[in-house]
Chains A and B, each alone.
Chain A
Amino acid sequence: AQSVAQPEDQVNVAEGNPLTVKCTYSVSGNPYLFWYVQYPNRGLQFLLKYITGDNLVKGSYGFEAEFNKSQTSFHLKKPSALVSDSALYFCAVRDPGGGNKLTFGTGTQLKVEL
């Protein structure tokens, strides 16, 4: 069965500093990995995905993520955080052998402070 772990419930970072939101996954085959963001009282918005190809994936709003197969990780990063990045971030995995089922992590609350 596929699963995703986001080990940090909350990440605090100062505006202008780099940020990292961690994600590790478990699937039976090659994973398809996604990051979504949820602002308060809103639906989830897609940020980026890794399907195949380059391990460094660039997405919306200056975010990027690095796929690391040996560490089964897909950490979300941004070189310089903004206060407006404060939101709930979800990592998700899709097992190619598992149909179109997307399994989400428990979410990480990112708080960017001035």
Chain B
Amino acid sequence: DTAVSQTPKYLVTQMGNDKSIKCEQNLGHDTMYWYKQDSKKFLKIMFSYNNKELIINETVPNRFSPKSPDKAHLNLHINSLELGDSAVYFCASSQEFIAGGSSYNEQFFGPGTRLTVL
């Protein structure tokens, strides 16, 4: 059973198009994340949701809009795609909060979605 899954695995599209990436976790975690890994393998957080509520929103163009319909799903919609959006996008999840406070648990990553904008 895949813990954190993403679809699609590969996405090739033209500049200006709108596309979505979906993520699902079956770990029962309360927090989900989107990361972007560029061609130099730099990994940077984009968004974080806890129980469907946005809690981290890094400096990301507003063409990127995350949506969390429930705590097991976090989707990423990208409008007006640009060449610079080409990257691998990783979804992750963790159990952040436990009785008494934060858990500081590790994050579990999905396999990634390789987006290529032509």
Most buried by A among B40, B42, B106, B110: B106
Number of A interface residues at 8 Å Cβ cutoff, please give it: 23
* Bound Cα distance A90, B43 (Å): 9
Interface residues of A in 51-82 (CB under 8 A from B): 51
Majority-rule SS of B interface residues: strand
* Total A-B Cβ pairs within 8 A: 55
Contacts known (A46-B107, A94-B104, A107-B43); A100 close to B112, Cβ less than 8 A: no
Q: Is the CB of B44 within 8 A of A102?
A: no
Contacts known (A46-B108, A106-B42, A107-B43); A100 close to B56, Cβ less than 8 A: yes
Q: Is the CB of A42 within 8 A of B44?
A: no
Contacts known (A49-B106, A90-B43, A104-B43); A43 close to B4, Cβ less than 8 A: yes
Majority-rule SS of A interface residues: strand
* Bound Cα distance A88, B41 (Å): 9
1/0 per residue B38-65: CB within 8 Å of A?
A: 0011111100101000011000000000
Number of B interface residues at 8 Å Cβ cutoff, please give it: 25
Chain B residues near A12 (CB-CB < 8 A): none
Q: Is the CB of A102 within 8 A of B107?
A: yes
Q: Is the CB of B112 within 8 A of A43?
A: yes
Chain A residues near B94 (CB-CB < 8 A): 100
Name A100's contact: one of B41, B55, B108, B110 (CB within 8 Å).
B55
Q: Is the CB of A42 within 8 A of B111?
A: yes
Q: Is the CB of B109 within 8 A of A43?
A: yes
Within 8 Å of chain A (Cβ to Cβ): is B96? yes
15 A-B pairs besides A43-B90, A106-B40 with CB distance below 8 A are A34-B106, A36-B109, A43-B110, A43-B111, A44-B43, A44-B107, A46-B107, A49-B106, A99-B48, A100-B48, A100-B50, A101-B45, A102-B107, A104-B42, A107-B43
**Which 10 A/B pairs are nearest by Cβ-Cβ distance?**
A43-B109, A46-B106, A44-B109, A104-B43, A43-B111, A107-B41, A32-B104, A100-B96, A43-B110, A51-B104
